[in-house]
Chain A
Amino acid sequence: MSSLAEYAWLVPVFPAAAFAVLTAMGRGAGRGGAWIGTLASLASLVLSLMLAGQRLSGTAVEYSNHFDWIRAGGFTLSLGYEVTNLTVLMLVVVSLVSFLVNLYSHGYMKDDERISTFFAYVALFSSSMLGLVLSYNLLTMYIFWELVGVCSFLLVGFYFRKPEAKAAAKKAFIVTRIGDIGLLIAILLLFWYMPNHSLDFTEIHNVFGTQTGVISMGITTLIALLIFLGAVGKSGQFPLHVWLPDAMEGPTPISALIHAATMVAAGVFLVTRTFDIFEASQAAMTTVAVIGAFTAIFAATIGLAQNDIKRILAYSTVSQLGYMMLALGVGSETGAMFHLFTHAFFKALLFLGAGSVIHAVHTQDIREMGGLGRKMKITAGTFGIGALALSGIPPFAGFWSKDAVLAAALEANPIYFIVGVIAAFFTALYMARLFFLVFAGSPRGASHAHESPAVMTVPLLVLAVLAVIAGFVQTPFSEWFGEWLFPGAEEEHASVLVIVVSIVAGLLGIYLGWLIYAKGSVRRDVVSSRMPGLVRLLERKYYVDELYDLVFVRPLGGLGKLLNVIDDYVVDGAVRVVGQSASAIGRLNTRLQSGQLQTYALTALIGLVILALAIAGRRFW
């Protein structure tokens, strides 16, 4: 049977071609250009779905193909792609969200004169991200890894006339770069220590998963931690989470596509792909779990005190990515990928819903919204579904995946479980606050809001359906998803305790949010009046930005200024001295060239005298 998998490389090629065409056409492409990007992403989606269909039928074998890129002596670097259940799952998620965001952007970016540039960047991003998930070795993945970083930079800074957007783009690029350096060093170490210098995921699986002792324990831990550093940067985990909320300066569809559903999940995907290295090192696993758990609760508390609709969702993303990392850290690949899968849908839904709201009221401050539920019924309904899914209320998707994570956490260490449950409570609380402030009550700001056009609401509806049903692939009653994705992996079965506790935490959070922000029976300043310091701490995001500014940015800026001064006065000074001395000598010599006959005669005389003296002196001494 001729396998479709042989054509899997076409999936990222469609958007890449769209990017090339759009870039070649320039800004003249206009709205027609936007359709080129959308059609390309549709083509990717269709091919991905066909691939998924073939894999679901269970007849296809894992397929990989590669070619040698650089060959010198015994040294070979190859690039290639691999089709497995995991990569196909990611292909479908990425191309589906990408297509829906493309569609949505037709409405959202309608009045932007650089709309074709926008779609070109989105196409480039889709292509890179699809390439990333298809990669068959770490090198290929690293190339696409950097490409998605570039796209993120371009798209965050899309409104580059706004200074905040410019600063956010730079911050996103530089902060993720710290993680990328870690990943690069990890790849170099792997290349050095692996037998045959192989970087294939299959080979990594063989070396770390089955044969033990090929690579020493210390090196394994080091490699795992460095890979994790790359994932921390990309997935916005503490302490490199600071770029993600700032990245919300980009257009909202971008926040949905890159900074919620796909690119930020690349870190989780990377750890999943190299999971055998992590499993070989207990220290690395503990680090992943602790960082994940800490990020989950840390970001959730910040989310409670923010007022920008997109920033709340951004911190929520950071927090949910923390859940995924926690799941990986306690050894549950299935939990992490499952949460990634459902999170991609409901978080994209929430961001697109937020975009719809922003499109209607032209503000991002939730204190200026309110009562939008009556005017924007579809947005409110779908947003509500997304919020319930995120809060972990059954039967929505987030409930099942969060349960899988929490069950694995409980099995590993009850502390992780408790932290996870508290974070889940905060998640429900801030989502309730967001939902009730935006959609319930009476309008507080501009009241000319209206429902968004169909091109924007249709993606919302599709994602809302997915946010409801996506969870049923893996329930405590049928663990089909995990079996399909990681055959043979042992997974923890969700216990009744986990289900009950997580439902209670979610419902409690929502109830509290309803009491405070909708019913008003609990005063809103109940916390801020008693503990103003705490609220301020949360509003200022634990002063992490300020701390980094003080510890890294200022000293490095000072060092830069110092080096600039040295460059100006020492390096350039030396160059200037050389140049100016040459011209000074020249000026001096022009004075000798006076044209005065008598001066020449005098000079000749002096020369003659000196010559005579020299000859005479030689004779006498």
Chain B
Amino acid sequence: MNMLASYLTLAAVLFCIGLYGVITKRNAIIVLLSVELMLNAVNLNLIAFAKYGVQPSITGQIFSLFTMTVAAAEAAVGVAILVAVYRSRASVNVDEFDELRR
């Protein structure tokens, strides 16, 4: 039980750091990195529950593998969009991306 608590605490800390980065950082790259951090915190939770949960099973580990795959794809797409945006606007600052407002 103790082990689960420490894993979950670490995951929560990681998640909050990621969330903080997503909300405060201006650079879109860092925002993307922070999102990765949040995803990894979730992965950590999945694995922790797979090992020390009420009903330990392999499903959690498999699910985290899927998440990593999707995260890789997401990072690729996200960076591609960023490159496209940088080409058109010569900036990667998130606070300048306010097209939705208009």
Given A596-B95, A598-B24, are A605 and B19 neighbors across the interface (CB < 8 Å)?
yes
Name the B residues within 8 Å of A593 (CB-CB): 101
Residues of A within 8 A of B94 (CB): 596-598
Q: Which residues of A line the B interface, CB within 8 A?
A: 593-598, 601-602, 605
Q: CA–CA, A601 to B94, complex, Å?
A: 12
Q: Is B100's CB under 8 angstroms from A598's CB?
A: no
Instruction: Determine whether B87 belongs to the interface, using a CB cutoff of 8 Å to chain A.
Output: no
Of chain A, the residue at the smallest CB distance from B98 is: A595
Kindly state the separation between the CA atoms of A605 and B19 in the bound complex, as whole angstroms.
Answer: 9
Tell whether, in the assembled complex, residue B19 and residue A595 are in contact, meaning their CB atoms are under 8 Å apart: no
Residue of B nearest to A600 (CB): B100
Which secondary structure dominates where chain A touches chain B?
Answer: helix
Between A and B, 25 residue pairs with Cβ closer than 8 Å are A593-B101, A594-B98, A594-B101, A595-B97, A595-B98, A595-B99, A595-B100, A595-B101, A595-B102, A596-B94, A596-B95, A596-B98, A597-B94, A597-B97, A598-B22, A598-B23, A598-B24, A598-B31, A598-B94, A598-B95, A601-B22, A601-B23, A602-B23, A605-B19, A605-B23
| Residues of B contacting A: mostly | helix
Known: A594-B101, A595-B101, A602-B23. 14 other contacts (CB 8 A): A593-B101, A595-B98, A595-B99, A595-B100, A596-B94, A596-B95, A597-B94, A597-B97, A598-B22, A598-B24, A598-B31, A598-B94, A601-B23, A605-B23
Q: Which residues of B contact A595 (CB under 8 A)?
A: 97-102
Q: Mark B15-45, 1 if CB is under 8 A from A, else 0.
A: 0000100111000000100000000000000
In the complex, A597 Cα to B31 Cα: how many Å?
A: 11
A593, B95: Cα distance in complex, Å:
13
B19: nearest residue on chain A (CB-CB)?
A605
Closest 4 CB pairs of A and B: A595-B101, A595-B98, A595-B100, A602-B23
Interchain CA distance A126-B102 in the complex, whole Å: 70
Closest to A597 in B: B94
- Which chain B residues border A596 with CB–CB below 8 Å? 94-95, 98
Residues of B at the A interface (CB closer than 8 Å) are 19, 22-24, 31, 94-95, 97-102
The smallest beta-carbon distance between A159 and chain B, in angstroms, is 62
Least CB distance, A606 to chain B, in whole angstroms: 10
Complexed CA–CA distance, A598 and B94 (Å)? 8
Point out the residues of chain A lying under 8 angstroms from B19, CB to CB.
605
List of B residues within 8 angstroms of A598 by Cβ:
22-24, 31, 94-95
Measured in the bound complex, the distance between the Cα atoms of B26 and A597 in whole Å is 11
CA A595 to CA B98, docked complex, whole Å: 4
Shortest CB distance B92–A (Å): 13
In the complex the two chains form, what is the Cα distance from A598 to B95 in whole Å? Answer: 8
- Taking CB atoms, residues of chain A closer than 8 Å to B22 are 598, 601
Query: A590's closest neighbor in chain B, by CB?
Result: B101
**B19 CB to closest chain A CB, in angstroms?**
7
Q: What separation, in Å, do the CA atoms of A595 and B101 have in the docked complex?
A: 5
Task: For residue A601, give the distance in angstroms from its CB to the closest CB of chain B.
Answer: 5
- Cα–Cα, bound, A598→B100 (Å): 13
Given the complex, which residues of A lie within 8 Å of B102, measured CB to CB? 595
Per the bound structure, the CA–CA distance linking A605 and B99 in Å amounts to: 22
Q: How far is the CB of A355 from chain B (nearest CB, A)?
A: 76
B95: chain A residues within 8 A (beta carbon): 596, 598
Q: From residue A425, how far is it (CB to closest CB) to chain B in Å? A: 93
> In the complex, A605→B22 CA distance in Å?
11
Q: How far is the CA of A342 from the CA of B22 in the complex (A)?
A: 106
CB of A285 to closest CB in B, whole Å = 86
| A602–B21 CA distance with the chains assembled, in angstroms | 11
Identify the closest chain A residue to B24 (Cβ): A598
**Alpha-carbon separation in the docked complex, A595 to B95 (Å):** 8
The distance in angstroms between the C-alpha atoms of A594 and B94, with both chains bound, is 13
What separation, in Å, do the CA atoms of A155 and B78 have in the docked complex?
86
Contacts of B24 in A (CB 8 A): 598
The residue on A at minimum CB distance from B31 is A598
> Roughly how many angstroms separate A596 CA and B100 CA in the complex, as a whole number?
9
Distance A602 CA – B22 CA, assembled complex (angstroms): 9
Smallest CB separation, B23 vs chain A (Å): 5
Query: With A and B bound together, what is the CA distance between A595 and B102 in angstroms?
Result: 8
- Least Cβ–Cβ distance between A604 and chain B, in angstroms: 10
Q: Which residue of B lies closest to A598 (CB)?
A: B23
Q: How far is the CA of A596 from the CA of B96 in the complex (A)?
A: 8
Q: How far apart are the CA atoms of A593 and B97 in the complex, in Å?
A: 13
Task: Give A601 to B98 CA distance when docked, in angstroms.
Answer: 14
**How far is the CB of B78 from the nearest CB of chain A, in Å?**
13
Residue of B19, B23, B97, B99 with most chain A CB atoms under a 10 A cut-off: B23
Question: Which residues of chain A have C-beta atoms less than 8 A from B97's C-beta?
Answer: 595, 597
Bound state CA distance, A595 and B94, in angstroms?
10
